[in-house]
Amino acid sequence: MLNYFITSKTRRKLVTLFSKHPDYEMHVRGIAKTIHEDPGNVQRELIKLSEIGYLKSKDRKNTKVYTADKKFPAFRELQSLVLKLDAVSRSQRLA
């Protein structure tokens, strides 16, 4: 159902990941492995989500680590929407 609101599959997976795990900190390749997407596509979407303020990044040693920015104005609302839609999706699959 979330695919109607967020058309990019990779972006949808990232928003879902960071909504479910807001304290999750990981580098591009780790995130790509977790959501089963190409690292290049993941990096492109991470940059876009960082530019709008949904994610924040910090340099750790030789790599950049991404995490959700809980101060993003619509973070709680988006998180709530994602979690609700995920629950609806799961219940529909079980029915």
User: Which band of pLDDT confidence, cut at 50, 70 and 90, is reported for residue 75?
Assistant: very high
pLDDT of residue 82: 87
Give the per-residue pLDDT at 29.
Answer: 96
Task: Name the H helices within the chain.
Answer: 9-20, 28-35, 39-51, 75-94
pLDDT category, 85, cuts 50, 70, 90? confident
Q: In what order do the strands lie in the sheet with 63-68?
A: 26-27, 63-68, 55-60
Q: Classify domain 7-83 by CATH number.
A: 1.10.10.10
pTM above threshold 0.85: yes
- pLDDT digit string (tens) for 46-67? 999 999 999 999 999 899 999 9
Output the six-digit token pair for 19: 């909504």
> Residue 77 has what pLDDT?
93
Ramachandran region, residue 60 (left: φ > 0; alpha: ψ -120 to 50; beta: rest): beta
- Tell me how far apart the alpha carbons of residues 71 and 91 are, in angstroms, rounded to a whole number: 31
